Amino acid sequence: MIISDGLVEQHIHGAFGYNFMNCTVEELLFVSKKLTDFGVTAYFPTIMTDDITVIKRRIALIKKAIALQNNDMAQIAGIHLEGPFINPEKSGIHQKKYILPLDIETYQKIEDKIIKIVTIAPELDNKYEFTNYLLEKGVKVSAGHCVGSNLSKVNQVTHLYNAMGSFTHRGDSTVVSALLNKKIYSELIADSMHVDDNVLKLTFNIKPLDKILLISDALPLAHSDKTETVFAGQTIYNKNGKLVNSENVFAGSSMLLCDIVKNLADKRILKLEDAIKCASSNQLKYHNLENNLQLCWNESNNSIEHIEII
């Protein structure tokens, strides 16, 4: 058996049929409670690119849920704002009509202390004024849905390899910079669909393990009986665990973080204890969080055997 701290999910859009972009306070609290069954200590509800008024309402709703949480729930540690300050060239399933320039005054319309991570396209930030503003406010800046290679100002990258300037042997790219920069963290969706297994192995050989943050990027379809849902203004389908839109564009994961850990350990891509570290202690340290769950992992099948609130 391996004893570990609880898992910390810093990039998740929903689960169990509930979407953080349209759920009620009660539904968000249900997700908070249900996530503990899967070993999650804390999480960051992730807000998609949308109309600025919708984003503002979502922030207010999440704050209401935080006020009603109890110790039996995975704690909402903050909000991850994934857009609208991204590059249209790498929008993925984000709706381009809602993408906005990196403008401080626009951000101030939704600004709140509960926002802890903001994904941006740093190459679109004039003189890094927007980036510096976020950093001065204590917000972690993540390069994502971008093409730029200068990551000198950011704290991390959003879902490494996905929706960013890809690897090239003839020049710099977002991916190359993220792998070489030992100071920044890299989110990684290690579900073997968003990133190929051999690329996962290569990543773990290049990037220091203490700088890797495993994420699920889970959608409402994760651990749900539904086979399709509306997300980001379009229908998303579950095709044998692969969540895609009608154009077969990836739209997040059907796995939760414990599934990601098990996937890596089952395939011997990482040792179980290393996979747990990338899903737990790295995040706890990165976000300076306290832990209120203790997990007991069965090494024979790489699954959570026991969960205890401490």
- Please check the confidence at residue 169 and state whether its pLDDT lies above 90: no
171 pLDDT tier (thresholds 50, 70, 90): confident
Mean pLDDT, rounded, for 5-16: 98
pLDDT for position 49: 98
Residue pLDDT, tens place only, 208-250: 999 999 999 999 999 999 999 999 999 999 999 999 999 999 9
148 pLDDT tier (thresholds 50, 70, 90): very high
pLDDT for position 170: 85
pLDDT for position 309: 85
- Please check the confidence at residue 143 and state whether its pLDDT lies above 90: yes
For the four alpha carbons of 201, 203, 204 and 206, in that order, the dihedral sign comes to: positive
pLDDT for position 13: 98
Query: Mean of the per-residue pLDDT values for the chain?
Result: 96
- Please check the confidence at residue 124 and state whether its pLDDT lies above 90: yes
CATH code for residues 2-309: 3.20.20.140
Lowest mean pLDDT among 79-88, 163-172, 238-247, 256-265: 163-172
Global pTM reads 0.96
- Please check the confidence at residue 167 and state whether its pLDDT lies above 90: no
- Please check the confidence at residue 118 and state whether its pLDDT lies above 90: yes
